[in-house]
Structure 1
Amino acid sequence: MARFNSRAARAQPTSRVTSTGRVLRSHEGGKGRERDARSELFLLAVSHFATGTFYERAEDRDDRFAKLVRKLAAEDPAWTAGLLRWLRGEGNLRTASIVGAAEYVKARLDAGATHGPSNRQVVDSVLQRPDEPGELLAYWTSTYGRAVPKPVKRGIADAVRRLYGGRALLKYDTASRGYRFGDILNLVHAAPDPGKPWQGELFQYALDRRHNPDTAVPPASNRMLTAHRELMALPVAERRAVVTSDGGAERLAVAGMTWEALAGWLQGPMDRVAWEAVIPSMGAMALARNLRNFDEAGVSDEVAAQVAARISDPAEVARSRQFPFRYLAAYQHAPSLRWSYPLEQALGHSLANVPALPGRTLVLVDRSGSMFYSRMSDRSELDRADAAAIFGTALALRAANADLVEFGSTSNRVRFRKGESVLKILGRFGDLGGTDTTEAVRRHYRKHDRVLIVTDEQYAFSGHGDPTEQVPAHVPVYTWNLAGYRAGHGPSGAGNRHTFGGLSDAAFRMVPLLEAARDADWPWAA
C-alpha cells in the first residue's frame, strides 16, 4: 500500500515571513517567536507610518527600521532594493521607502559595496511624486549632513527629469518647503530630458522663481504657467468675479489652481461658489477629505451627486491607491447621510483583494488597548483598531460561513448579516482592554476550516501556550500583523502557520495561494 505517494498527498506550502525558532517575549509577556531579519523588516515597513505605537516610541521604530535596512542592504541588496521599490509602488508607503532608500545607500557606501542594484537606481525607484526628491534630500541632509553623495544626486536627477512639469511646479514648489525645486536643480544638476523639449525652460523658470521671484517670467510655451501668472496678477477685488463667471471652473483648471491655493488667492472664504468652481479639477481623495467642507458651504445637490459618483467610481478608487481606512476617516468626518453610500462603495472597491473563502472561517479582531493607542499616521485620528475591524469585517462578509469575534482581555461575537454595510458593522466593535489572544482562540474555535487573527501580536502570558497552539496542526492559522513588532505570537513560514502584514488588502492574496498548497512569495517577486 502506498504510504506517501497517494492522490490525497499534498505539499506543505511555505510563506516568506519566517520564524527563526528562537523564543522571545512579547511586550505583554507572552511567549513570542523571533523572526528572521527580512521578515522583521517587511512587517515593520508595511506598518510603519513614522509614528509611535503603544509599546515602541517613534524614534525607536525609526532606529530599528534603519538598522534593519542597513544590515540587509549589505547582506541581501537585491531583496532589499525590491522591497523598497515595492513599498513605494504597490505598497504606497512614501516615508518608509524614502528613508529606506537613503539608508540603503549609506550602508553600501560605508561598506564599499558594488554588487547588486545600484544606489542610483534604488533612489530613483522610490521617488514617484514631484515633492519626493525634496523629501529624500531633507532626510539625507538632516541625518548625514550637507555632503550629498553622487549616487544620491544622480538618482534624484533621474527622478526630477521624470517628475517635474508645470503642474508639479505650481502644486509643490511652495515657500513652505525647505528644498524648493530651484534648490534641488542647483544641487543635483539635473539635465532636461531630451524627450521633453520644454523642460529646459521649465527648469530655468524654477531657478528664477527661487532666486529672483519678483522678475521670474514663466515660459510662454507653457499654457498652465502663463494662465496661473495671469490669475495671480489680478487685483484681489477682481478675483471672486473669475470664480463666479460661467467659465470660472475651466479657467481655474487651466491655471492649475488647487483647492488649497484657491482660498489664499481669493483672500476670502471658500463659499459654495468657490467650492463648486474648483471641485471639477479636484482628485478623488481630495474630494473625500473635504466632504464636511462641501456640506458646510452648502454645495448643490447636483454637484454633490457628481462628487459622490467620483469618489465611488472603481477606477478612481484604484487610481488613488488609498488605504481602506482612509474611507472610514472620511465617513467619520462627513456630517451628512448623502455621503454614506458612496463611501461604503469606495471602501468596498478598496477591498477588492479580500477573498471569498470557502467552508467555515473564524476571524478574530484585536480590540485591545495597544491597538487604540497607535494612530495610523501623524495626520490621522484613526488607529490600528479601526484598520483591524475594517479588514476583519470585510473578510467575514466575503467568506462563505464566518464567525467574527472581537477580543481583548475578554472576547465577544460581532453579529452581522450577509450584504450588510461594513461601515455599519464597525459601530458594533468596542474597546476591550488587555490582550488575551490565546483565550479568545480557545473560546471561539469550533472545528473551523481556518483561523485568521488581525492583531499587533502582543498577547499576554498564558498557561495554555501561544494562540496558534490552540488550533490543530492541520488547520491553517493566518496572522495578519498590523504593527510590525519584533516578536510574533506564534511560528510562521510553514506547517499551516503563516503571518503576513500591511495596511491594504493586498496581503489577502496569500491566503488562496497557501490553501492551494502553493508557496506564497514576497509580493514584488510574484
Structure 2
Amino acid sequence: MSRFNTSGVRAHEGSSLYARDARTELFLLAVSNMVGQYTFYESADERDSRYAELVRTVGLIDPQWTARFLAWLRSAANMRTAAIVGAAEFVKARLDSGAVTEGVSNRAVIASVLQRADEPGELLAYWVSRFGRSLPMPVKRGIGDAMLRLVTERSYLKWDSPERGYRFADVLNLTHPRAQRELFGYIVKAPHQPDLPIPASLPVLAKRAELMALPVAERAALLEDPEALRAAGITWEALSGWLQAPMDARAWEAVIPSMGLMALTRNLRNFDAAGVSDEVAERVAARLADPDEVARSRMLPMRFLSAHRAAPSLRWAWALEKALQHSLAGVPALPGRTLVLVDTSGSMNVRLSQHSDLLRWDAAAVFGIALASRCADADIVSFSAPLSRYPQGWLPFRLSSGESVLRAVERWMTGGYFIGGGTNTEDAVRAHFAGHDRVVILTDEQATSGDVERALPASTPLYTWNLAGHRLGHARGGVPNRHVFGGLSDQCFAMIPLLERGERAEWPF
C-alpha cells in the first residue's frame, strides 16, 4: 500500500527519515487531515496547500486511482471535508490541463464525494472561494446529481439555513438539476415568497408549517406525541427554538426516539443534566450497545471515548464500552508475540480537530490498547524521550485480564503514561524488542534521532500507523516487512494478518 523512494532526509526533530511517493503521501495526509487544522509541525495553511497540490499532482499522474480514492475517502473513511476539497482540486486540475481519461468522469467524481444534503453547498462555496464564480459544466452536473439524490423534505428542513453562504435554493439555481421535482420548485421560490402555498405532495413541510403556526403556549402539549414531532421533521436542534423554552427531561424524551446515534452520543451529558428517566436512558443505552447501530453510524472509537469522559453518569459506561468495542471490530486477533509502541511525545499532544476535545495521543492509546488486548501475547509501551520524571523516556503498560478498553485508557491517562517529551523512536524499539513476531508503532513519525528501520531485523515485520500525515516517514514502506498505514479507522489493522499470510494487500479501495 505504501512506497518510499529516497532516504537521508532530515526530519523536523533531526532524525534520518524517508520521503514518500506522491500517492502514499496523499493517502496518509488525507486520512489524517482535518482540513484547516494546525498540527505540531505544520500550520493549517501549509498542510492544506500541500494536500491540494498533492491531489492535483496525483490526479494528473493517475486519475483512475485518484477518482477511486476520493470516493473511498468520503464513504469508507468518512472524511467529509478532505474529500470535498480533494474532488474540487482534482477536477480543477484536470480541466486546466485539458486531460481526458477513459473511465474517469469529472462529474461522477464531484457527485461521489457529496453524501449529505448540506455538502453540495459546501463544495460550491469552496469552488467559488478558490476558483471564482464561473462553474464548469462537470461541476454543475455533479452537484446537480447529488442534489437529486440527497434533497428530501427532511434534509431540506434539517440543513437549509439563512446562515449558510449557499442555501439549497442558491445551489439549485446555480446547477439546474435536469430532473424537475415539485420539492425543488418550492425550495427555489420559498425564500422570496413567505406565503407560498405548500403542495399536497410535500406532507412533511405541511406538517412543519402547521406546528409552526401553533401558539407558543400550546406547543408543549405536543411533547406527549413524539410521532407528531417526527412527522414534521422536528430535530433535537430545532426543538428548543420551536418550544421557545429550555430542553428539559420531557422535551428530550419526546425527541430521543428520532435521534441518530451520533446525536445521542453527543448529548448524554445533556440527558443527565435534564434528568431523563432511567427507562428512556435504558433505551438509549441499548442503541449504543447495538452493533448494527454502531456500524451504520460509522462513528470512530474516539467519539465514544469523548462521550465517556463528558458524561457525568455511570449509567452510560457499559453501553459506551460496548459501542467502542463494536467500532473496533476490524482490529484483528494476532498470534505470536507483538510489541506495540505508542508515541506520547509532545507533538502528539495536539487536538484531533478544532471540534474535538481529544488529542492524537488519545487516539494512539485507544488503538494501541485495543490491538494489544486482541493479541495472543503483547507488550505495550508508551514512549517519548528522557525527562526528569521518565529518565529512560518510556513506560511499559500492563494490560489487565478482562479489563475494558475504556477502563484501560482511563488508567493510561491517570497513571502518567502521556509523557510529553521528544520522540526517541529508535531507542524505544531497541530497548523493548526481544524477538517479537511483529512491531506496531502508533506515531506521527517525527523521530528525534536515529533510523527506526535499522533498529529491527529485516525479517521482523514493522507496521507504522501514522496519525498525523506528515510528509516524511521514519522507515521505508512497500518493501518486505515494512508497512505504513494512516488515519483513525480500525480497518488498516485488518491488513496485518493479510500481509503476514503473504496475500496481496493493496489500497483499501
The interval holding the TM-score normalised by the smaller chain is over 0.9
Aligned 8 A contact 2:288 2:320 in 1: yes
Equivalent residue for 2:55, pick from 69, 87, 107: 69
Amino acid corresponding to residue 399 of structure 1 in structure 2: C
State the AA in 1 paired with 2:442. V
In structure 2, distance between residues paired with 1:372 and 1:217: 55
Q: Which residue of 1 aligns with 2:230?
A: 253
The answer (yes or no) to whether the contact 1:183–1:210 under 8 Å persists in 2 is no
Alignment check: 8 A CA contact 2:114 2:146 kept: yes
Does the 8 Å contact 2:294/2:327 carry over to 1? yes
* Correspondence for 1:411 among 364, 373, 394: 394
- The Cα shift of 1:22 comes to 3.3
**Which of structure 1's runs of 4+ aligned residues deviate more than 4 A?**
none
Where do 1:77-156 residues align within 5 Å?
Answer: 77-116=63-102, 117-156=104-143
**Paired residue for 1:318, among 263, 284, 295?**
295
Alpha-carbon distance between aligned partners in 2 of 1:123 and 1:483, rounded to the nearest angstrom? 26
What amino acid is aligned across from residue 217 of structure 2 in structure 1?
A: A
Equivalent in 388, 392, 406 of residue 364 of structure 2? 388
Partner residue in 2 for 1:8: none
Q: CA deviation at 1:519?
A: 2.2
Q: Cα deviation per residue 1:461-481 (whole Å; 9 max; x = unaligned)?
A: 13xxx1221111111010001
Give the structure 1 partner of residue 389 of structure 2.
Answer: none
- Matching residue of 1:487: 472
User: In structure 2, the residue corresponding to 1:363 is in which secondary structure?
Assistant: strand
Where in structure 1 are there 5+ consecutive unaligned residues? 1-15, 193-198
Aligned residue identity for 1:21: T
Provide the aligned length of Structure 1 versus Structure 2. Answer: 495
The TM-score, its normalising length taken from structure 2, stands at: 0.96
Name the amino acid aligned to 1:210.
P
Once the two structures are superposed, residues 241-286 of structure 1 have per-residue CA deviations (whole angstroms, 9 ceiling, x without a partner) of 211x3xx211111111000000111111100000000000000110
For residue 21 of structure 1, report the CA deviation from its aligned partner: 2.5
Letter in 1 for 2:399: F
Instruction: Give the corresponding residue for 2:377.
Output: 401
Match of 1:191 in 2: 178
Q: Write the distance in 2 (CA, Å) between the matches of 1:274 and 1:360.
A: 52
**Alignment partner of 2:210: what SS?**
helix
Which residue does the alignment assign to 1:445?
433
**Alignment partner, residue 209 of structure 2:** 229
Q: Provide the residue aligned with 1:421 in structure 2.
A: 404
Q: How does 1:497-516 map to 2 (within 5 A)?
A: 497-516=482-501
Q: CA deviation at 1:378?
A: 1.8
Higher relative contact order (CA 8 A, sep 6+): 1
Q: 1:119 & 1:139 partners in 2: Cα distance?
A: 16
Matches within 5 A, 1:11-30: 16-30=1-15
Q: Is the 8 A contact 1:397 1:419 kept in 2?
A: no
The answer as to 2:189 corresponding to 1:208 is yes
**Which of 187, 197, 204 pairs up with 1:217?**
197
Give, in angstroms, the shift of residue 495 of structure 1.
Answer: 2.0
2:266 paired residue among 289, 295, 301 = 289
CA distance in 2, matches of 1:130, 1:268: 28
Alpha-carbon displacement from aligned partner over 1:387-408 (angstroms, at most 9, x marks no partner): 1001000000000000011111
Q: Is the 8 A contact 1:367 1:407 kept in 2?
A: yes
**Contact 1:405 1:411 survives alignment (8 Å):** yes
Q: TM-score, normalised by structure 1?
A: 0.93
User: In percent, how many aligned pairs have the same letter?
Assistant: 59
Offset of 1:145 from its aligned partner? Answer: 1.1
**SS of structure 2 residue aligned to 1:523:** coil
CA RMSD of aligned residues (A): 1.0
Counterpart residue number, 2:390: none
Q: What is the 5 A alignment of 1:425-436?
A: 425-427=408-410, 428-429=412-413, 430-432=417-419, 433-436=421-424
For the 8 Å contact 1:450–1:475, the answer to whether it is kept is: yes
CA contact (8 A) 1:491 1:498 kept: yes
Quote the Cα distance in structure 2 between the aligned partners of 1:494 and 1:519.
13
Residues 258-269 of structure 1 mapped to structure 2, 5 A cutoff: 258-269=235-246
Moved more, 420-429 or 384-393: 420-429
1:332 and 2:309 are equivalent in the alignment? yes
Q: 1:470 aligned to 2:455? A: yes
Output the CA distance in 1 between the equivalents of 2:401 and 2:496.
21
* Partner secondary structure for residue 100 of structure 1: helix
Question: Is residue 2:25 matched to residue 1:48?
Answer: no
* Partner residue in 1 for 2:168: 181
CA shift, 1:508, in A, is 1.0
For the residues of structure 2 that align with 1:293 and 1:191, how far apart are their CA atoms?
44
> SS at the partner of 1:342?
helix
Find the partner of 2:255 among 278, 281, 286.
278
Partner of 2:333: 356
Does the residue aligned with 1:97 lie in a helix, a strand or coil? helix
SS in 1 for 2:8: strand
3-state secondary structure, aligned to 1:500: strand
Partner of 2:388 in structure 1?
A: none
Give the Å deviation of 1:239: 1.0
- Aligned 8 A contact 1:29 1:459 in 2: yes
Contact 1:29/1:461 (8 A) holds in 2: yes
Whether the aligned pair in 1 keeps the contact of 2:19 and 2:471 (CA below 8 Å) is yes
Gaps of 5+ in 2: 386-392
